[in-house]
């Protein structure tokens, strides 16, 4: 059973996701015209928790503490290695899913067990 704080966090995250859903992906973008993955996680954290994250995925992966995938709770960050030294990240929103700015479809929700994401999963981090 989810704690009251987890439920509130999940509801807040889903509301914020709905606000940004479909925003196009734009490398280096930080707003409604387009945003990249680290800008999206930064925006989610600012709007949900009033917490300011660094701008890049490379800096965000240094924050908080690493946790096992089995320990994920809404609000945790998930990181992926997508090839060529590139990294991608998103915010876990429960039920095996994470919200992120996808380079192919913009801001969306994907499943961690999706073949693409499962094979590129790197680590999860808890900041809260």
25 is catalytic: no
Annotation marks residue 37 as catalytic: yes
Bridge partners (DSSP) listed for residue 87: 81
Annotated catalytic residue, options 16, 43, 93, 100: 100
- Four-residue CA torsion sign, 101, 106, 109, 110: negative
Q: How far apart are CA 99 and CA 3, in angstroms?
A: 21
Q: Is residue 100 flagged as an active site residue?
A: yes
Distances (CA, A) of 8 to 42, 64, 94: 19, 21, 12
Q: Which of 10, 16, 37, 39 is an active site residue? A: 37
Question: Active site residue: 17, 78, 80, 88, which one?
Answer: 88
Active site members: 37, 88, 100
């Amino acid at each position: 059973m989810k704690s009251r704080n987890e439920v509130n966090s999940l509801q807040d995250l889903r509301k914020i996701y709905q606000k940004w859903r479909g925003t196009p992906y734009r490398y280096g973008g930080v707003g409604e015209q387009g945003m990249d993955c680290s800008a999206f996680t930064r925006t989610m954290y600012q709007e949900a928790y009033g917490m300011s994250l660094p701008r890049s995925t490379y800096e965000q992966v240094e924050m908080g503490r690493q946790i096992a995938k089995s320990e994920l709770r809404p609000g945790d960050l998930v990181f992926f290695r997508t090839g060529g030294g590139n990294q991608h990240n998103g915010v876990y929103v429960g039920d095996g899913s994470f919200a992120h700015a996808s380079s192919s479809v913009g801001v969306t929700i994907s499943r961690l067990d999706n073949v693409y994401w499962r094979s590129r999963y790197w680590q999860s981090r808890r900041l809260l």
